[in-house]
Amino acid sequence: MGLFSNSETTSKKNSIIHDIEMINKAFKDISLLIDSNGMNNTTINSINSILSNVEANITRMSSNVQSMSDSELTGFYVTWVDGRSIGIMTWIASFGTFMNKISSEMESYIK
């Protein structure tokens, strides 16, 4: 029985890692876009397009994390945008901070 639990946990972790790779790439693309073009209407449209392309990854990753127990998540490290290895919960907090910052910058431009 434990063998099947471990297999399901491993499968979820692999899915999370894959989704995070896609999300990290989107974050890099967004950062490069802002650095090279600044914030303008075209940049905002591009950011929205990039984020819509990873929406399914974000949803699946979040769902998988929520379905796992604290003990399954303990010691589970993933890669952040800059290549550092961080805990999954730290990654999620950093994800939220990044999204809030992008949102704030877009709102500031629109005002």
pLDDT above 70 as % of the chain: 95
pLDDT at 79 (0 to 100): 97
With a cut of 50, say whether residue 1 has pLDDT above it. no
Q: Can you tell me the distance from the alpha carbon of 42 to that of 49, in angstroms, rounded to the nearest whole number?
A: 11
User: What six digits make up the tokens of 91?
Assistant: 């990654």
pLDDT tens digit string along 38-63?
999 999 999 999 999 999 999 999 99
Q: Which amino acid is at 31?
A: S
User: What six digits make up the tokens of 18?
Assistant: 């894959």
Average pLDDT across the chain, whole number: 93
DSSP 33: H
Average pLDDT over residues 56-81: 96
pLDDT tens digit string along 15-29?
999 999 999 999 999
DSSP per-residue codes, 92-108: HHHHHHHHHHHHHHHHH
Q: Can you tell me the distance from the alpha carbon of 75 to that of 63, in angstroms, rounded to the nearest whole number?
A: 19
50: exposed, middle or buried (Cβ count in 10 Å: 0-12, 13-18, 19+) = middle
Q: How many CB atoms lie within 10 A of CB 15?
A: 15
| First-to-final CA distance of the chain | 57
Domain ranges of the chain: 2-110
With a threshold of 0.85, does the pTM exceed it?
yes
